Amino acid sequence: MRAVVLRSFGGPEVLEDSEVDRPEPGPGEFLVRVAAAHVHNVDTMIRRGFLAGEDAKGRPHTGLGHDAAGTVAALGEGATGFAVGDAVIGLHSPLDKPLGAYAEYAVFRAHEVARAPESVDAVAASTVVGNGLTALQSLRQLGLAGGDSLLVTGAAGGVGGFAVQLAAARGLKVTALAGPGDEDLVRGLGASAFVARGGELPSDVDGVLDAAVLGVPALAAVRDGGVLVRLLPGETSDERGVRDVQFQAEADAADLAEVAGLVDAGVLTPRVLDVLPLAGAATAHRRYEGGGLRGRLVLRP
């Protein structure tokens, strides 16, 4: 099969569209024929070698790709819940691996897959996997109730945009921090207030979802006794009684199914910017790292 792999770490030029052996599902696993793979920031970090483990030194190549949509092609021994031909979404969660979802086929464990949303195609469905799961699980971490106030930084991005939609649907009063030209976008997602990047943040919100990784300014925006959820590792603080949480989403079949249902219910709206072939992975990474995208980039095998 065709797959994008790394044989060294570095810039987008190290991405190779190669012919490799097709993986086979083990016990309890599913082989998925990938129809679309979403280009994610974690992929660019792996490409640069930031997340490489010791195993990477002893294998011929490293795989990329986590968020995918496709159809079940084969079942491993004892795998249940899906049949060959079922449309699914999946989070290929291992970070350091020989093959990922940038491929014609990928193997997923049972807790990494759910039925795909029925209201959108595979390209759109692939873009809600990691970002939708992160938004859903991070809001759960925040533990806010209807009527509470929430600041979402990076509100025009993949995670931030979904978080605004979910929070607004739950009755939270959402302030969105995004680029100066993004006000109409984030208000359309459900934000009731807007702060342009570099502007003055509120100082008394019940919670902050720091998708833009602001750090100290995000903490300062939380009221005494409020909650801050950070999406990347960093120093936490217990000042002013703020519950300061570092959070990373985890694959969970029930949560993936909930994300798919939220898409079908119209609560989550996928935003696809462009679709490229596997051979265009380097181009996709260059565009992603250029920043300013207001939609997702997808690879289609």
pLDDT digits (tens, 9 = 90+) for 187-217: 999 999 999 999 999 999 999 999 998 888 9
* Beta-strand pair 2-6/16-19: antiparallel
Q: For the chain, what percent of residues have pLDDT higher than 70?
A: 97
pLDDT of 19 over the 70 cut: yes
For residue 49, what pLDDT is reported? Answer: 85
For residue 56, what pLDDT is reported? Answer: 59
Nearest to 15 by CA among 25, 5, 27: 5
Q: CA–CA separation, 95 vs 93, rounded Å? A: 6
pLDDT of 256 over the 80 cut: yes
Q: Note the pLDDT tens digit of each residue in 153-189.
A: 999 999 999 999 999 999 999 999 999 999 999 999 9
Give me the architecture of the 131-246 domain, per CATH: 3-Layer(aba) Sandwich (3.40)
Cβ atoms 202, 221 nearer than 8 A: yes
Nearest to 234 by CA among 251, 220, 247: 247
Under the banding of pLDDT at 50, 70 and 90, the label for residue 55 is low
Q: CA–CA separation, 193 vs 55, rounded Å? A: 47
Mean pLDDT across the chain, nearest whole number?
94
Q: Mean per-residue pLDDT for 277-282?
A: 97
pLDDT of 54 over the 60 cut: no
Task: Out of 3.40.50.970, 3.90.180.10, 3.20.20.370, 2.160.10.10, select the CATH number for domain 2-127+270-300.
Answer: 3.90.180.10
pLDDT of 234 over the 80 cut: no
Under the banding of pLDDT at 50, 70 and 90, the label for residue 298 is very high
Instruction: Give 201's DSSP letter.
Output: P
For every residue of 34-97, DSSP letters joined together read EEEEE--HHHHHHHTTTT--GGGGGSS-EE---EEEEEEEEE-TT--S--TT-EEEEE---SS-
Q: Mean per-residue pLDDT for 31-57?
A: 85
Chain region(s) in the chain for CATH 3.90.180.10: 2-127+270-300
Q: How far apart are the first and last CA of the chain?
A: 10
Chain region(s) in the chain for CATH 3.40.50.720: 131-246
Cβ atoms 90, 34 nearer than 8 A: no
pLDDT of 112 over the 80 cut: yes
For residue 57, what pLDDT is reported? Answer: 62
Under the banding of pLDDT at 50, 70 and 90, the label for residue 60 is confident
Residues 6+ away with beta carbon under 8 Å from 216: none
Distances (CA, A) of 31 to 19, 25, 123, 269: 18, 5, 18, 27
Please state at what angle helix 253-264 crosses helix 129-142, rounded to 10 degrees: 100
Q: Mean per-residue pLDDT for 279-297?
A: 93
For residue 58, what pLDDT is reported? Answer: 64
pLDDT of 90 over the 90 cut: yes
Distances (CA, A) of 238 to 161, 203, 219, 247, 299: 28, 17, 10, 16, 42
